[in-house]
Amino acid sequence: MKRFFLISLCLLFGSAVGLFAQELSKDDFIASSSSGSSVAMKIGIGAGVNVAGLSSSNSEFPGTGIRPGFNGGVMFNLRFHPRDEMSTAEQGLFAIQPEIRYSTMGGNSSDFKLGLSYLTVPVMFQFYPSANFYIEAGPVMALNTSHTPNTTVINNKQYDLAKLKANDMMLAAGVGFLAGNITIGARFNFGISDIARNMNYKNWCAQAGIIYNFKLKSHEGSGVKKDDVLDL
Amino acid sequence: MKTRIIILSLLMTLCSIFSACENQAVDITVTADITINTASVLAPFIAYDSSDLDMYPDSKVRLTCLLYDAAGALINRQDIALSDFSSSANIQEKIGSQTYTLVVVASCVSGGSLLKPEYEAYSLTGVNNLNTLNIEQIKSDISKVFDSCWQVLGFGIQENLTQSEYEPFMTLKPATALVYMNFRSIHASSNIDLYAIGWTSNNLMTFTQQNAGFSCNVDGIYDECDIEPDRYTSENLYSLFSVFPGECRTVGASFTGNNIVDWKQNSVNVQAGHQYVFQYDCSAAALTIKEGRL
């Protein structure tokens, strides 16, 4: 069931990427017509705070309290599908935002504390109901980079974490608001994978942060040149 | 078109690989806290005369806890000193994800250290592997045998010990058969003597003249066993021997079978100038008495 779900997710994700790529290839970064097909690209750097925890459906693993942390990284935003013929891609209805983000997770409880650090690669699909407000969702690939401590005791069992990989596939959803070059956003991540085959904890992490954006490139349907690079 | 295919393929591949990969298991160790009850070792015997099963003042009970892995290799050994067989002890054993066997042996030692006592009732050899473990009675210190529990051996075994299944309480069982001699009508001063006799490693308990009280012969070598029939009675010499419960149990090379030693009684006419050898076969649960002229 889980495998089916993940495959479906991948297909959905792939379809969305394909849609985007199709949009991208329509004009191949060249304003081809007045149809409004165009892409606005931004790169951003951001940082924020985390509130993370570990959850489990296995009664052997009690849920943890929150573990505060932080996140930070770079984001690449591709916004497309202008709202109408008069608008630009910067005010498009959709965007895809791949990111590379360092994030601390884990969980604290009265019995144990487990800290996990991840290099995450979210690929967020954003929908803009209005020009400056978006809701987003997407998969997050999370590569575990470190953990503390090396052993932990849960319910009288001592877990030797030397072999802990704790890589994760997560789902994320959130909202954000654009104010000029600044994006303020909040996001919730929920892990799909157990952090170890015999340690049935799943990550969850709520994030809030701020991104400063640099415009990279914008191709408008009204005839912007192919190699325009703006405002970097 | 090419860009689209590359991006699509790359992202889908990455996503698929990531979602399909399952994190490997980590090593889990469970600390099993086990209470060991040694009082059960003497429980079957004390109904007869508990005062005869006291410890010697200079001796103590050595509790040896041996943890073996699934291959039979010794993982951990703990030796604990107890004042007597009425005490309990707590041991903590770290259990990994495999199946273990825990063997606990309680026997008497005196002097020296727990691992190298000056005197001990049973020696443990071949402890590094379950298949070579051998527990053997030491018969050199005869004086400690008489009227005490010095030669009593207690044992307990938990096989198939796993993280999810272990018994928090281990009740040791006697592995010693006590032989009770009732010198009816032939012993004026004390008509009840009690002897604690151990067992050997080959399932055969042999009670010979080497074992304390059984060294008696009718000529009377030891004061404690001064049988002088002609002096007190004219009846036929008569002794009753009873083997009290003990257990024979399989552990490595030392034990075979799981026979509880039932009550066995037999009698013999003791004659002057004869030696009496009593053998108990654990497998057959049979007591035999052989006699021969000294």
The Cα A84–Cα B181 span in angstroms is 111
Residue B197, pLDDT above cutoff 90: no
Chain B residues touching A121 at Cβ < 8 A:
14
**pTM recorded for the entire structure:** 0.62
Per-residue tokens: B154 = 């207690």
pLDDT of residue B186: 34
In the predicted model, what is the mean pLDDT of residues B71-75? 93
Which residue ranges of chain A lie beneath pLDDT 70? 1-37, 217-232
Residue type, A180: G
N- to C-terminal Cα separation, chain A: 46
pLDDT-derived band at B125 (thresholds 50, 70, 90) equals confident
Provide the 3-class DSSP secondary structure of residue B154: strand
- Residue A159: CB atoms within 10 Å: 21
Kindly report the nearest CA distance between residue B48 and chain A, in angstroms. Answer: 44
Chain A residues touching B1 at Cβ < 8 A:
25
Q: At what angle do helices B2-20 and A2-27 cross, to 10 degrees?
A: 160
Provide the 3-class DSSP secondary structure of residue B32: strand
- Residue A13: CB atoms within 10 Å: 20
Per-residue tokens: B269 = 């006419």
| Range name among A159-163, B78-82, B228-232 with the lowest pLDDT average | B228-232
Chain B residues touching A166 at Cβ < 8 A:
23
Mean of the per-residue pLDDT values of chain B = 66
Query: Going by C-beta distance under 8 Å and a sequence separation of 6 or more, which residues neighbour residue B101?
Result: B67, B68, B72, B130, B157, B158, B159, B160, B161
pLDDT of residue B236: 37
User: A63-72 in b/e burial notation, b at 16+ Cβ within 10 A?
Assistant: ebebbebebe
The tens digit of pLDDT for each residue in B127-177 reads: 999 888 877 766 554 455 555 677 777 888 888 899 888 889 999 887 765
Kindly report the nearest CA distance between residue B171 and chain A, in angstroms. Answer: 23
Q: Is A114 on the interface with B (CB under 8 A)?
A: no
Higher pLDDT: B254 or A150? It is: A150
Q: Which among A156, A159, A167 is the nearest to B31, CB-wise?
A: A156
In the predicted model, what is the mean pLDDT of residues B39-49? 68
How far is residue A203 CA from its own chain's centroid?
Answer: 14
> What does the DSSP assignment read for B192-221?
-EEEEE---TTSEEEE-TTSGGGG--TT--
pLDDT of residue B260: 42
